Amino acid sequence: MLMNAVLVTGGAGFIGSHYVKELLQADDTARVTVLDALTYAGHLDNLSEAFLDPRLTFVHGSILDAALVDQLMASHTHVVHFAAESHVDRSLAGETLFAETNVLGTQILVNAASRHPIQRFVHISTDEVYGPLPEGTATEDDPLLPTVPYAATKAASDLIALSAYRTYGLPVCVTRSSNNFGPAQHPEKIVPLFSPACCAASRSPCTAAASTCATGSTSATTAPVSTWCSAAARPARSTTSAAERT
């Protein structure tokens, strides 16, 4: 087994690809394998110059392929698990896919990691698991109160990963960051969706509480509805509520 052999799931996605490139640049001892199904959100172009590094190996496959996952796990020391379905609107139209990828996929990875001497399993989650917050920020001790299928499946995957520490002693770390944005982000996300509209002073659709678009404030009680935000009239208020941001 190679030391510092890192298996990165979803490494051809927006955040995962940035991580892979940063890791290869920062650690000259790292050997990185990217496992990615290359769905609509994953593209080889996202890894671009990283393919010039001989330490990078790409495997086209799914985290739902238990045999493949187990095979890869046997030759790695670390796992960084980015692979997930991650868009609120898509989860409202296809809950089953989110459950399969986020929950079952994480379970398959955890099971495989528990059978091999993995030194660290990093599970990338989201602050969406805490649900909408009327004010302030969440802490690790706050309850998980997801309000949409995407957040619910991520909360479930968090608990699956954390339970592996108690059950198998798997060294698990869960991260719950807020929204990320930057180059190569899929245009369904809020920043790349709204930025061109704001520059053009046009309108863009959003799924948010009506009061959010009308007042610029978030609401924990108003049900999400399909509406429009006018970048020309309210450029600073073209945001979704906390429950619909990712």
Please say whether the beta carbons of 81 and 15 come within 8 A: no
Distance (Å) of CA 9 to CA 58, 140, 180, 204:
10, 24, 18, 32
For the question of residue 168 being annotated catalytic, the response is: no
Question: CB neighbours of 122 closer than 8 A, spacing ≥ 6?
Answer: 78, 79, 80, 81, 172, 173, 174, 175
For the question of residue 150 being annotated catalytic, the response is: yes
Q: Give residue for tokens 């796990």.
A: 73
Question: CB neighbours of 216 closer than 8 A, spacing ≥ 6?
Answer: 234, 236, 237, 239
What the block records as the tokens of 164 is 């592996």
Q: Give residue for tokens 């991650």.
A: 86
For the question of residue 49 being annotated catalytic, the response is: no
Identity (one letter) of the amino acid at 209? A
Rg (CA), the chain: 19
Out of 19, 36, 85, 127, which one is annotated catalytic? 127
Please say whether the beta carbons of 6 and 59 come within 8 A: no
Out of 19, 36, 85, 128, which one is annotated catalytic? 128
Please say whether the beta carbons of 146 and 159 come within 8 A: no
Out of 130, 150, 158, 244, which one is annotated catalytic? 150
H/E stretch holding 195: helix 190-200
Q: Could you list the active site residues?
A: 127-128, 150
